Amino acid sequence: QVRLVESGGGSVLPGGSLTLSCAASGLTEPSYCMGWVRQAPGKQREVLAAINVLGRTTYADSVTGRFTISKDNAKVTLYLQMNSLKPEDTAMYYCAAALYDGSWDPLLSSRYNYWGQGTQVTVSS
């Protein structure tokens, strides 16, 4: 059974930084793509960043240059380093995973079928 557990959310001032973590278990197949997805109230889910089994990363335009996704294969943990945070980054942030064969865009949230419970990030002065 796949389980994804996020941590590291919280409140931060604009311009600040946060690092989210996602502890994964049950991902027995080697070809998983993992991503960070956020959803703000009244807005659609947005895949911010994804990383595949080869370590190739993909970023949404909204976070390119500010957010960095990484993965510790030994600990099976996914990270999202978020810098230069803006009030519009306020949202619930989710870790997600899906089997990946290279045929679909990792920024499509509908392709992910395993989800964590989410962690709230609030950017406010």
The band of 56, judged by pLDDT with boundaries at 50, 70 and 90, is very high
Tokens of 39: 């959803």
Helix, strand and coil in the chain, % to nearest 5: 5, 50, 45
pLDDT tens per residue, range 85-123: 999 999 999 999 999 988 999 999 999 999 999 999 999
Could you say which DSSP state residue 31 is in?
-
Average pLDDT in the 32-52 region?
A: 95
Q: What is the per-residue burial (b if ≥16 Cβ within 10 Å, else e) of 51-71?
A: bbbeeeebbbeebeebbebeb
Give pLDDT, residue 33. Answer: 94
Average pLDDT in the 25-42 region?
A: 90
Closest Cα partner for 106 from 69, 67, 65?
69
